[in-house]
Amino acid sequence: MPRLLIPAVAALLGLCSCQSLKKDRVVITVHAQGTDMDSKKTVFTRPIGGRAVIFKIIPEFSTQSMAAFHPFPADNGTQGVAMKLDFKGTNSLELVTRLRHGEMLMTMVNGQVVDHVIIDRPVTDGIFTIWQGFSEEHIAALDEEYPRIKDLKSSSTFIEMTPSTATEKKQSKRRAEDEEKQRKADEKRRARGGSDPEAPDGEIVPLSELLKTSR
C-alpha cells in the first residue's frame, strides 16, 4: 500500500470529519471489501493472508457510531475491543453482514490496519469485536470519551435506547461517571461503619392512585 494512501484514507473517511480527526485520539474505522469494478479513487489494497485484497475507503462504521466499548487482552499481547454501536452503526453492521457473507471486514486504528474478520453470519445486536491491535494508551483514550458497555445508560428514562447523538453519548458517559462516584462514596461510608438509608414505612402507593388524588 503506498504511503501516501494513508492520508488519503483519513481524509476520505465518510463518518469522520476533519474536526473529529483532530479531536479524537483514537479513530476506529471498519472497511468492507471492494472489487476491481470500483473506481480506483474509492478503494485501496492491503496484503491479507498473502494476497492483495481490495477494500473500500469509505468505512461501514467508525468510532462516530460507537456508544460504548469493552476492552480485553488479545492473544498477541495487545488489547482487543468490543464496540457497542448506536442505532445507525447497528443498522450498518447488520446490512453489511447480511449482504457480504464470506467477505472480509478490516479494522483500522488511526489509519493503521490492526485486524480483519470473515463475515459468517448477520450481526444484529450492534456489537462488533476487534480481536487485537489496541495499546494501553488507546484504551485509556477511549475511556475518556466512551463508557464501558456494562456502564452504558439508556438515552431514555422510559425505554431501553442506545445513545445515538453526540449529546446523548456525553450524557450517558456523565451518568455512568456519576453512578461510579456514588458507588465509591457508598463503599467508603460502609467502610466507616455507616449504613444505607432506610426505606420509608408504609405501603407503596401506585402512581395511578397518586394521580387520582392530585386531581
pLDDT of residue 12: 47
Find the mean pLDDT for residues 128-142.
98
User: How is residue 204 written as a grid cell?
Assistant: 407503596
The answer to whether 103 touches 118, Cβ cutoff 8 Å, is yes
Q: What is the pLDDT of residues 17-27, one digit of tens each?
A: 444 445 679 99
Q: Which residue has the cell 445486536?
A: 125
- What's the domain range around 111? 5-182
pLDDT of residue 204: 64
pLDDT of residue 203: 66
Q: Which residue has the cell 461501514?
A: 60
Q: What is the pLDDT of residues 84-131, one digit of tens each?
A: 999 999 999 999 999 999 999 999 999 999 999 999 999 999 999 999
Residue 198 lies in a domain: no
How many whole angstroms separate alpha carbon 177 and alpha carbon 183? 10
Q: What is the pLDDT of residues 142-179, one digit of tens each?
A: 999 999 999 886 655 544 567 666 676 666 667 666 66
Percent of the chain with pLDDT over 90: 56
Distances (CA, A) of 81 to 45, 48, 200: 24, 21, 44
Query: Phi/psi at 109 (nearest 5 deg)?
Result: -120, 115
Residue 170 lies in a domain: yes
Per-residue pLDDT band for 208 (boundaries 50, 70, 90) equals low
CATH at residue 156? 3.30.1360
Residue 106 lies in a domain: yes
Residue 188 lies in a domain: no
* DSSP 8-state code for residue 49: T
Residue 124 lies in a domain: yes
Residue 103 lies in a domain: yes
**Number of domains the chain is built from:** 1
Residue 194 lies in a domain: no
Residue 210 lies in a domain: no
* DSSP 8-state code for residue 89: H
User: How is residue 32 written as a grid cell?
Assistant: 468492507
The yes-or-no verdict on residue 55 having pLDDT over 50 is yes
